[in-house]
Amino acid sequence: MPKETFETIISELDHEEDWRRMRATSTCMKGGPKAVEAIIQAMATGSTHYKVEAAKMLARLRDPRAGQALAHVLKDEDEQVRQAAVDALEHMAGILDEATAAALLEHLRDDTL
């Protein structure tokens, strides 16, 4: 049987069967940097539930590379997605890089104009 890619596993975050979603979450949590990249790429598409779960996973993985992607999701049309991004960024406070800080400031500027 061919080895599953992170992209395939991540696609199961939105599966209707609980055990598949749980397996995808567990696998991604063990996947390290490769999983982070796949989650970041996948967060640009998908359902509301998919994006919310991706934001939660990125928060748990606490990888600074996720910061810019989460800052970008603050502009998502869905309030649940935006809230998940806020929660994730709050959880990652202290490890975010300068590029993420700049993206957050840009978002704040856009909202105040």
In a domain, 32, yes or no: yes
Taking all residues of the chain, what is their mean pLDDT, rounded to a whole number?
A: 83
d(CA 59, CA 94): 12
* pTM summary value: 0.77
In a domain, 1, yes or no: no
Average of pLDDT values for 92-101? 81
In a domain, 17, yes or no: yes
Q: 71 is in which domain, residue-wise?
A: 6-112
pLDDT tens-digit profile of 51-80? 998 899 899 888 888 988 999 899 899 999
The CATH number of the domain holding residue 45 is 1.25.10.10
Please give the tally of structural domains in the chain: 1
Give the largest Cα separation in the chain, rounded.
54
In a domain, 105, yes or no: yes
The whole-number pLDDT of residue 111 equals 62
Amino acid at 2: P
In order, the DSSP letters of 46-89 are S-HHHHHHHHHHHHHHT-TTHHHHHHHHTT-S-HHHHHHHHHHH
In a domain, 66, yes or no: yes
The whole-number pLDDT of residue 2 equals 46
